[in-house]
Amino acid sequence: MNIQNLKHSGLKKWVEEAVSLMTPDAVEVCDGSQEEYNRMIKITIDTGLATPLNPWLLPGCVLFRSDPSDVARVEARTYIASKSQDDAGPTNNWIDPDELKKTMTELYRGCMKGRTMYVIPFSMGPVGSDIAKIGVEITDSPYVVANMHIMARVGVKVLDVLGADGFYVPCFHSVGKPLAAGEQDNGAWPCAPLDKKYISHFPETREIWSYGSGYGGNALLGKKCLALRIASVLARDEGWLAEHMLILKITNPKGDVKYITGAFPSACGKTNLAMLVPTLPGWKVETVGDDIAWMKFGKDGRLYAINPEAGFFGVAPGTNMQSNKNAMETIRRNTIFTNVALTEDSTVWWEMIGYDAPGKLIDWTGKEWIQDKGNKEQKPAAHPNSRFTGPAKQCPAIAPEWEDPKGVPISAFLFGGRRPKTIPLVNEAKSWSHGVFMGSIVGSEVTAAALDVKAGTIRRDPFAMLPFCGYHMGDYFKHWLSIGAKNDPDKLPKIFFVNWFRKNEAGKFIWPGYGENSRVLAWIFDRCNGVTDNAVETAIGFLPKADAISRPDGVSEADMRELLKVDIEGWKKEIADVRERHYPKFGAKLPKELYDELDAIEKRLNA
């Protein structure tokens, strides 16, 4: 399809202006077809950027290796360019939007010389859903086109819904490496130096401008850029929620169904929980989404959620048949792997995949690699942030409702972090405002080795949204509180805090996690079903009674008491840390209601 076929006059004009600025050699409007996807993959193979994998063992799969400078989100080069710096808040990088657009316009000038410009119309959420939003990404990367085919709904059907005057989020992207006449990439990943990389968001004009990176959320602009940073602003202005949350469907042995969302910082088992295989007999968990939830209120007053994505962009290292069997089954075909290791039989390997490296590998940098288990200094074969991009429809546990345009009704929110002490296994909020307080203090304990900080320091990540909120987080907390104030409290989801990562004095995990987390989900399910005799009210919320959660093998009665106790002294330290180090960051915009919750918990702990 070419530009002249575009029916939306505003979109057509925007694309024509981009062509004039970026001067590509050719322009294509993506139609979303399988043929188009196959052609993008062939282009990347033919230019040496992609390696086809074993068609018998991993049919339809390819491997990419990015440049070592282009392997992750670049938070230091990610900007929220609101008109007022105060609107961006203390947790975002800010540049004046006029100044930033001037800088980036010069970078974009001629940036696609020697390349093809691809125009990608995409829907975040089922096409035509009242909760979905449309974006259009302009890019010069066939890698991005192929990944967007998996991660969003792309093509003609999106343009049909957009019509002649519909709303869309315009997204510029370029790898930032124009080609001279006759020049080719010759297998080298195209990107710009770090100081030329920009991932920029303009909240008032609902625009995304990305330059210089071809990797992940820096380049797949439907993901974090639109689905969280811009969508969080749209949600604030329109009265809904755009959250960094999984969505799961849980069915009890009687056939009753509930839908639960959950927000967790990185490395806290979010994707594993979304695809959990229960150990409890008769219980079933199915996946609606593993990373992002958009939620709006239905006519019945309940909150309905969609997964705005169509695929999984998951971290490979640590994914294995024990931690996430359903993810492993999902990525056996039609999957794009980036920065994992290549085996001699053209399959893939990564650290903690569940078995030793099968002989000589090619590591993520393209060098030969032989596993030396005695060498603790050996560099990993797969980059720690190596990824797989797999279609959600291939997941064995995908819920039948995952593409329901009206969404699924949410009964509970879960918040959690990696906390070896203080925070109990599960804790139900006393009220909506108490739950918002719990979400606002989410954090994980980090080691000195990891971040060069004092051991035991809590890295706070409120609502797991710290890198993804498109505006001041004080206003974000206020938005959550207003959602509770404006809607029927009996129809709002209940809010819970979970912690799978408690350790004993010997430093070993007390709770086995993974599929055993279904035991905690079962208690949450019952609480949402109105069961009241399975909990006790404490200073920090409602905790399960001693026998309310069935114990997995290896977990003693003493362990359960430890997992479910209120650590008075630990919580006093927690409250002090929030009061002295965390809440002051948000200044005058921190809602008074949260300080009131802080005071109330402190008073109850001292009672």
Contact indicator for 133, 234 with CB cutoff of 8 Å: yes
> What is the CA 223 to chain-centroid distance, rounded?
8
Contact indicator for 317, 352 with CB cutoff of 8 Å: yes
What's the 3-state SS for 48-74?
CCEEECCCCCCCCCEEECCCCCCCCCC
In this prediction, the residues of the chain whose per-residue pLDDT falls under 70 are 447-456
Residue 454: per-residue pLDDT: 60
Find where tokens 């969505």 sit: 247
* Whole-prediction pTM: 0.97
Residue 455: per-residue pLDDT: 55
Element containing residue 569 per DSSP (H, E): helix 568-577
469 is catalytic: no
* Tokens of residue 139, six digits: 């890019």
Residue 268: per-residue pLDDT: 86
What structural domains does the chain harbor? 3-48+74-238 (3.40.449.10), 243-309+399-606 (3.90.228.20)
For 248-259, b/e burial (b = at least 16 CB within 10 A) is: bbbbbeeeebbb
* pLDDT tens digit sequence for 316-370: 999 999 999 999 999 999 999 999 999 999 999 999 999 999 999 999 999 999 9
CA dihedral angle for residue 212, residue 217, residue 222, residue 228, rounded to 10 degrees: -120
Active-site position among 111, 171, 225, 268: 268
DSSP secondary structure of 238-295: HT-EEES-EEEEEE-TT--EEEEEEE--TTS-HHHHHT----STT-EEEEEESS-EEE
Distance CA 283, CA 263 (A): 22
First-last CA distance in the chain: 70
Distance CA 341, CA 265 (A): 26
Element containing residue 491 per DSSP (H, E): none
**Dihedral sign of CA atoms 257, 267, 293, 147 in order:** negative
Neighbours of 591 (CB within 10 A): 22
Residue 448: per-residue pLDDT: 45
Contact indicator for 442, 498 with CB cutoff of 8 Å: no
Contact indicator for 162, 37 with CB cutoff of 8 Å: no
